[in-house]
Structure 1
Amino acid sequence: MGDPRESSRRRGQGELEVQVLSALRASPGPASTAWVRQELGDGLAYTTVITILTRLLVKGVVTREKSGRSFVWSPVAAEADLAALRMRKVLDGESDREAVLASFVTALPRDDELLLRELLRGEREQEN
């Protein structure tokens, strides 16, 4: 068994959402909350998984449909969409957006900076 500190460590912002979304993508079809919880495999409470799924529903990255007395869940957004959502969330929490964006762009590798410039000019189609 692993180090007990590993299972009790605090997850980073959005990390659990990414794990839940990855589990949904691994599902052969719409997945129940219990299935997602089992796939995550680290003893999360059922209510925690429901909370994360509901947050993802509000963000528009999963859908749910009634199945018996509960719901089944499906992903609708690509991982890139979820990463972009996290980036916007961080940016929204900052008071000097211009400084944050400038720092972000200047820290990009040259190829990524050129790609971003192309996207902003509309010279490249986004792939989904």
Structure 2
Amino acid sequence: MSETSPVQRRPAGELEASVLAALWAAEGPLSPAEVQGALGGRLARTTVTTILTRLHDKGAVSRSRAGRGFVYSPIQDSAGLTARRMRSELDKQDDRGTALARFVSQLTSEDEQLLRSLLEGADGAPEGPGAGPQDDPGTAQP
């Protein structure tokens, strides 16, 4: 009977975050093999392809045909993706008011002031890159 060490699992989302970081750093769309190379070859190409497919299914990346395969591009920058995830989590709540109140109660005073400033300056139109669906009219938002 041989002793084996327990398999170390990565934190949830770590691989997706690594793949997105590689796409954000690129100057154009990347194939799964190029993403694999950008990550130092530490993941199998099939793993990278699976991650890219899942990111595409989640609406985080776009893909287009390139030969027999696909190349991938991020749809939003990091801040836009974070905002989208926050909105997705909020949409799952039956009691949005309580969820928002708890979120705000956990903000630092600096973040609370920033949020207050953003809300006071809001005129109904999001600001900045990746702020909303109007940045890419062809992108369906969940």
* Identity among equivalent pairs (%): 50
Structure 2's unaligned 5+ residue stretches are: 130-142
Contact 2:24 2:77 in 1 (8 A): no
| 48-57 or 64-73: bigger deviation | 48-57
**Aligned mates of 1:48, 1:74 — CA distance in 2:** 17
Name 1:36's counterpart in structure 2: 35
List aligned pairs for 1:81-92, cutoff 5 A: 81-92=80-91
Please say if 1:65 is aligned against 2:64: yes
**Aligned mates of 1:98, 1:42 — CA distance in 2:** 45
| Greater helix proportion | 1
Q: Who wins on radius of gyration, i.e. which is larger?
A: 2
TM-score by length of 2: 0.68
TM-score by length of 1: 0.74
Q: Secondary structure at the match of 2:70?
A: strand
List aligned pairs for 1:1-128, cutoff 5 A: 9-41=8-40, 43-92=42-91, 96-121=95-120, 122=122, 126-128=127-129
RMSD of the TM alignment (CA)? 2.7
**Aligned mates of 1:40, 1:12 — CA distance in 2:** 17
**Aligned mates of 2:69, 2:13 — CA distance in 1:** 25
**Amino acid across the alignment from 2:59:** G
Structure 1's unaligned 5+ residue stretches are: none
**Aligned mates of 2:50, 2:82 — CA distance in 1:** 19
| Pairs aligned (count) | 122
Per-residue CA distance 1:59-108 (angstroms, 9 max, x = gap): 33322111111111112211012112333344455565433322221111
**Aligned mates of 2:38, 2:65 — CA distance in 1:** 21
